[in-house]
């Protein structure tokens, strides 16, 4: 049986069209193309989806409301991470081939139009 992946995914500019912190509560959120469908597919396939964001903790309720109203599925939400580069560090199992940590960089506001998710095991 193939083990499920843990997918760490940024919110603003990746799932939602990018907006500045100051405008979150006064502007309408826009879900980017292909995002809802891909998140639904990943969830149905048993993958764990952890959303990450630099949004400050005081915006948690508002962020959860936007995610719910947009019908975006996820397992966990981590708020307040730094805006700089994100690094994922993981070990490799010497008994199994393949990488255990993968990085995917998408162009801001382009959604999940990447057609070759299979290259990442997704």
Model confidence over 58-110: pLDDT tens digits? 999 999 999 999 999 999 999 999 988 888 888 888 888 777 788 888 888 98
3-state secondary structure of 1: coil
pTM (predicted TM-score): 0.86
Interior CA angle at 100 toward 98 and 103, to 5°? 110
Domain 6-117 classified CATH 3.40.50.2300? no
Label residue 114 by pLDDT band (50, 70, 90): low
Give residue for tokens 């469908």.
37
Return the structure tokens found at 23.
């405008």
pLDDT at residue number 115:
63
Domain boundaries, the chain: 6-117
Half-sphere exposure for 18 (CA within 13 Å, toward CB): 9
């Amino acid at each position: 049986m193939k083990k499920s992946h843990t997918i760490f995914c940024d919110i603003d500019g990746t799932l939602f069209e990018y907006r500045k912190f100051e405008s979150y509560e006064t502007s309408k959120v826009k879900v980017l193309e292909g995002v809802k469908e891909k998140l639904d597919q990943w969830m149905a396939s048993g993958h764990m989806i952890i959303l990450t964001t630099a949004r400050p903790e005081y915006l948690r309720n508002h962020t959860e409301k936007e995610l719910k109203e947009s019908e975006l599925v996820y397992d966990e939400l981590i708020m307040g991470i730094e805006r700089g580069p994100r690094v994922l560090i993981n070990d490799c199992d010497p008994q199994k081939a393949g990488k255990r940590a993968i990085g995917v960089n998408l162009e801001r506001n382009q959604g999940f139009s990447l057609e070759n998710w299979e290259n990442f095991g997704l």
